Structure 1
Amino acid sequence: MDSNYSAIPRNNNSSIELQSHDRNNRAYGHSKIDGFYDDEDYALEEFDELPLILVPDSESKDVGSGVPGAVFNLATSVIGAGIMALPAAMKVLGVAFGLFSIVVMGILSEISIELLVRFSVLCKSSSYGDVVHSALGSFARVVSEICIIINNAGILVVYLIIIGDVMSGSFEHVGVFEQLLGHGWWDNRKLVILIVLVVFLAPLCALQKIDSLSLTSAASVALAVVFVVASCVIASIKLVEGSIKTPRMGPDFGSKTAILDLLVVIPIMTNAYVCHFNVQPIYNELKGRSPHKMNRVGRITTVLCVVVYASTALSGYLLFGDDTESDVLTNFDENLGIRFSFILNYVIRIGYVLHLVLVFPVIHFSFRQTVSELIFRTSVPQSRTITLALTAVLLGIIYLGSTMIPNIWVAFKFTGATTGLALGFTFPSLVALRLDKQGKNLGRATRFSLWLMLVLAVIVSIIGVFGNIYSLKNQTG
């Protein structure tokens, strides 16, 4: 009697499962998730118990990080340097439209994350590139991997730029070292970034498993919360005292510069939520993993990030108004007009630098993994020596980038309009539509939402790219 299932041989080092195969030897399943699938499909539990990839017992789905650890790792992937550009984005959009954009982008990002999880399980994919390959082919996989590399490299460069801005200062603002010790060799920007990279970042980036970073991710989220709470408290005190000017509620269309900023600010908003490249690695190492549990991780993370982003953008814009810098941390070198302002400035800036130091390895993990897959066709090289050498080379490239790019606004507006939109919205929409099986899995409302998300992503990307190019021409001309 013919069967659609093939048994995997049992031994002491492997788990056993039944896999359903089609003629091309691909494993598929049918699912129904939160109304996304029709009634005739099987329940989600049909493949909830199947691991995303075959792993030894020592690395089975009962070993790894729990939901809190996964939330911390995913939130750390989201809450990074992007938070520092949000007050400047709100300065462009105004309070009402800025808050609306933060919430809408969070919801759309959560939808795309759930789609990635569902179709990753359906296709037995172990990485972002794998699920893109299953749906769109090898060329699309290479494009997606290049997007991840460019996006993550840009994010890591931004982290080092912020660390340099805070510790060594910039043309307009004084750094922590100069305030504490005066001007000297110790506040040389390139030297400070190099020391931080070698002494603090390299050891964490050398780790091979992302669940090893759960504790540092928890600490980084805590430090981000400290920054948010401190800035909100300061803004509230000044608001009660009446020393804050009435903020603008909508965009400013009064000048050519304001309109150009408006064209590029939406991609910056979308870039703030891009964490999709880390969804599969976090899912793979989730204890007792299932799509339902990973969706819970995504929803908790989204709510946390929306609250943190909205609080930061609003408090930063209220505090500094039209003087808000592209990196709002640099604004905290001045007197805030409240008691203990001097101490609070140091707490906020140094605390967030520590946050970035702890976030950096999480982003670097998927960066290195994707480069490894592109070069070696495996996410983890067999040799530990190769892994360390690859880590060293990538960190060197990131360091060079941080010495050449002038500020985080330049980096964010380009990655947000290109790779950020592609990874967060374009590829997830295309994957879901391609694997829809001629409309039998997804309902009409879901398919409409996917097409809407795809069209909006393309439009925003085109507008953002041309807006960036035109803005650069105006600056150089």
Structure 2
Amino acid sequence: MEMQKQSNGNHHGDFAHLEGGVKPEGEKFLPQKSNGTKTPQFTDFEGKTSFGMSVFNLSNAIMGSGILGLSYAMSNTGIVLFLILLTCIACLSSYSIHLLLRSAGIVGIRAYEQLGLRAFGHPGKILAAVIITLHNIGAMSSYLFIVKYELPLVIQAFLGQTSTSEDWFMNGNYLIIIVSVCIILPLALMKHLGYLGYTSGFSLTCMVFFLSSVIYKRFNIACPLEAFGNFSVNSTIPEDTCTAKFFTINQETAYTIPILAFAFVCHPEVLPIYTELRNPTKRRMQNIGNLSILGMFVMYLLTAIFGYFTFYENTEAELLHTYSKVDPLDTLILCVRLAVLVAVTLTVPVVLFPIRRALLQLLFPEKPFHWIRHIAIAVCLLFAVNLLVILVPNIRDIFGIIGATTAPSLIFILPGLFYIRIVPKDQEPMSSRPKVQAACFTALGFIFMTMSLTFIVLDWMSGVKRSGGGH
């Protein structure tokens, strides 16, 4: 999406003159007045989304299936180590948004892929588009995994059945196709992301209900948990079975950083939300990012603590699945399942938008908006994701691999590299503090990626899988 040029030859939308200097933080990214008339700087959309709706959209982009794995992550790190890691990832995500907004403000580019083009040429554009596509496909897959495994249980409970029948409407593979066609596809066909603010707000409300239920259940599920089959009638229950651990290191700890990184990635959505923001400035968008991350930090921490304090070492990779072992027909958990299903279903269209934008930037960079392309890409993406969810057996593997590769790239590596390459050297030389910080930030991303992938591969090679590691 290039900056528009007026037919009279005046390049009101051309930000080339800014390459020699950095715009002040408070200056508007999209100048609102030009010769007394309002001039939008992008050809496809003029920002009309309110601050509140933008917070809903970005919060919804941050929060998704990752919240279901946080109690599991805490059980494999301990409370203190988890809190340290969660705080660090949240702060680093906020700093990453700052780097993206500074880079975008200099060259007037609102697309992640176009920042890659500006920083590294065509290879940078391809790399950014591929990473965004892979990450968001992984995110969409994890959401549909929840639909695949939880919706049959909800239907089963409503029908009063105690065992899964062979009926087609109890088959998760059929159900994700139906949900994709009837709910996700119509929302994904909307022209602009800002229109999804209302569904994002409703999705967040559902997740608040999920958190409230997790807190309530903490005080209504007794420990020890005989439902997990770890103890016989005459066996001696270990003293630390229901004891919270402050520090824990085990083989599953390898998945903690990827799960946390996966849970905070929203960066492909930042610039599209920025562009559609009413009265956009870098400070205003940074406040949206900070508020969204803070809200999700609080929700993540509370969910992890109360989920872990309910099941302790029996916590599984997908928290709802852990509750189902205690009482499969519990009414509250049934309502929670339904709320989470609604939330993740409404999040899928928000995540699909950046993938479609990345593919359009990659395949049709100079083409104007066309409904056929818009619809065709959405249909193809949903088809591919449905196929992936049907074929891949374990949600933890998606959390691990996506969190260990694309998440560090989007949070740490690419924003740092973009900042280093795009901010002019005469304004900030490589020896300047901001550039050194960005370089360290990038290096940290490579370290996270290497460590996480190494531990995950070693875990796979060992062949040891924790019970209940996922569906």
Q: Please give the TM-score of this superposition, normalised by the length of structure 2.
A: 0.85
CA distance in 1, matches of 2:322, 2:135: 26
Counterpart among 239, 244, 247 of residue 250 in structure 1 = 247
Deviations 1:382-432 (A, max 9, x none): 321222122111110000000111122100111111111101110001111
Counterpart among 317, 322, 327 of residue 331 in structure 1 = 322
Q: Does 1:310 align with 2:301?
A: yes
CA distance in 1, matches of 2:342, 2:13: 46
Query: Structure 1: which 5+ runs fail to align?
Result: 1-6, 34-43, 169-174, 253-257
- What does 1:16-55 align with in structure 2 at a 5 Å threshold? 17=12, 19=14, 21=16, 29-33=21-25, 44-45=26-27, 49=31, 54-55=41-42
Partner residue in 2 for 1:295: 286
- What does 1:39-118 align with in structure 2 at a 5 Å threshold? 44-45=26-27, 49=31, 54-55=41-42, 59-61=45-47, 64-118=48-102
Aligned-pair CA distance for 1:358: 0.8
When residues 405 and 28 of structure 1 are mapped into structure 2, their CA distance, relative to the original with a 3 A threshold, is farther
Aligned-pair CA distance for 1:10: 7.0
Give, as a single letter, the amino acid of the residue that structure 2 aligns with 1:247. A
Deviations 1:59-107 (A, max 9, x none): 434xx11110000000011001111111111111111111221111001
Partner residue in 1 for 2:131: 147
CA distance in 1, matches of 2:6, 2:155: 62
Partner residue in 2 for 1:403: 390
Which is worse superposed, 433-442 or 154-163? 433-442
Give, as a single letter, the amino acid of the residue that structure 2 aligns with 1:89. A
Over aligned residue pairs, what C-alpha RMSD do you find? 2.9
CA distance in 2, matches of 1:265, 1:46: 39
Aligned-pair CA distance for 1:311: 1.0
Partner residue in 2 for 1:255: none
Partner residue in 1 for 2:200: 217
Give, as a single letter, the amino acid of the residue that structure 1 aligns with 2:389. S
Give, as a single letter, the amino acid of the residue that structure 1 aligns with 2:446. V
Q: SS state of the match for residue 289, structure 1?
A: coil
Aligned-pair CA distance for 1:20: 5.6
Q: Does 1:203 align with 2:186?
A: yes
Deviations 1:8-65 (A, max 9, x none): 6478xx998375645xxx75542344xxxxxxxxxx4275636997236x9434xx11
Q: SS state of the match for residue 326, structure 1?
A: coil
- What does 1:158-169 align with in structure 2 at a 5 Å threshold? 158-168=142-152
8 Å Cα contact 1:53/1:124 also seen in 2: no
Q: Please give the TM-score of this superposition, normalised by the length of structure 1.
A: 0.84
Give, as a single letter, the amino acid of the residue that structure 2 aligns with 1:384. W
Counterpart among 377, 381, 388 of residue 390 in structure 1 = 377
Counterpart among 343, 347, 350 of residue 362 in structure 1 = 350
CA distance in 1, matches of 2:319, 2:218: 14
CA distance in 2, matches of 1:311, 1:144: 33
- What does 1:260-275 align with in structure 2 at a 5 Å threshold? 261-275=252-266
Partner residue in 2 for 1:179: 157
8 Å Cα contact 1:148/1:419 also seen in 2: yes
CA distance in 1, matches of 2:217, 2:10: 55
Aligned-pair CA distance for 1:433: 1.6
Which is worse superposed, 214-223 or 453-462? 453-462
8 Å Cα contact 2:13/2:41 also seen in 1: no
CA distance in 2, matches of 1:126, 1:75: 19
Aligned-pair CA distance for 1:278: 0.6
8 Å Cα contact 2:20/2:427 also seen in 1: no
When residues 431 and 331 of structure 1 are mapped into structure 2, their CA distance, relative to the original with a 3 A threshold, is same
CA distance in 2, matches of 1:269, 1:415: 11
CA distance in 2, matches of 1:122, 1:193: 43
8 Å Cα contact 2:262/2:399 also seen in 1: yes
8 Å Cα contact 1:48/1:291 also seen in 2: no
8 Å Cα contact 2:62/2:264 also seen in 1: yes
CA distance in 2, matches of 1:475, 1:269: 24
Give, as a single letter, the amino acid of the residue that structure 1 aligns with 2:305. L
8 Å Cα contact 2:27/2:282 also seen in 1: no
8 Å Cα contact 2:68/2:318 also seen in 1: yes
CA distance in 2, matches of 1:167, 1:324: 21
When residues 266 and 21 of structure 1 are mapped into structure 2, their CA distance, relative to the original with a 3 A threshold, is closer
Partner residue in 2 for 1:36: none
Aligned-pair CA distance for 1:177: 2.3
CA distance in 1, matches of 2:113, 2:40: 14
Q: SS state of the match for residue 151, structure 1?
A: helix
CA distance in 1, matches of 2:125, 2:15: 24
Q: SS state of the match for residue 362, structure 2?
A: helix
When residues 155 and 20 of structure 1 are mapped into structure 2, their CA distance, relative to the original with a 3 A threshold, is closer
How many residue pairs get aligned? The number is: 436
8 Å Cα contact 1:78/1:305 also seen in 2: yes
8 Å Cα contact 2:71/2:308 also seen in 1: yes
Give, as a single letter, the amino acid of the residue that structure 1 aligns with 2:154. V
When residues 196 and 15 of structure 1 are mapped into structure 2, their CA distance, relative to the original with a 3 A threshold, is farther
CA distance in 1, matches of 2:170, 2:150: 10
Partner residue in 1 for 2:236: none
Give, as a single letter, the amino acid of the residue that structure 1 aligns with 2:23. S
8 Å Cα contact 2:22/2:427 also seen in 1: no
Counterpart among 392, 410, 413 of residue 423 in structure 1 = 410
Q: Does 1:281 align with 2:284?
A: no
When residues 74 and 201 of structure 1 are mapped into structure 2, their CA distance, relative to the original with a 3 A threshold, is same
Give, as a single letter, the amino acid of the residue that structure 1 aligns with 2:46. S
Counting aligned pairs with the same residue, the percent is 23
